[in-house]
A = this chain, B = another copy of it.
Amino acid sequence: MSRTAGSCQAFERALASLGAAARLQAQDVDRLRPLCHQVETWPAGAMVEAPHRRDRVRLITSGWMYEARLLPDGRRQIFGYLLPGDLICSRHAYRASPNILLALTRVEAVEVPAAKAATFGERDRFVWEGLTRSIERQEERSYEALLRVAKYSALERVANLLLEFRDRLMRVGLATQESFWAPLTQEHLADTLGLSVIHVSRVLKQLRNSGILTMAFGEVTVLQPEALRRLAAGEH
Q: What residues make up the interface of A, taking CB atoms closer than 8 Å to B? A: 54, 69, 71-73, 75, 77, 79, 91, 94, 97, 99, 132, 136, 139-140, 142-143, 145-147, 149-151, 193-194, 234
A77 to B69, CA, bound (A): 23
The reply to whether A139 and B91 contact each other, CB–CB distance below 8 Å, is yes
Q: Which chain B residue shows the least CB distance to A90?
A: B136
- A146 smallest CB distance to B (angstroms): 5
- On whether the beta carbons of A97 and B140 are closer than 8 Å, the reply is yes
Q: Within 8 Å CB of A151, what residues of B?
A: 71, 75, 77, 194
Q: A97-B140, A142-B142, A149-B194 are in contact. List 5 more A-B contacts (CB 8 A).
A: A77-B150, A77-B151, A145-B146, A149-B149, A151-B194
Contact B94 A140 (CB under 8 A): yes
A234 CB contacts on chain B under 8 angstroms: 71-73
Known: A147-B69, A234-B71. A136 touches B77 (CB 8 A): no
CA distance A94 to B144 in the complex (A): 13
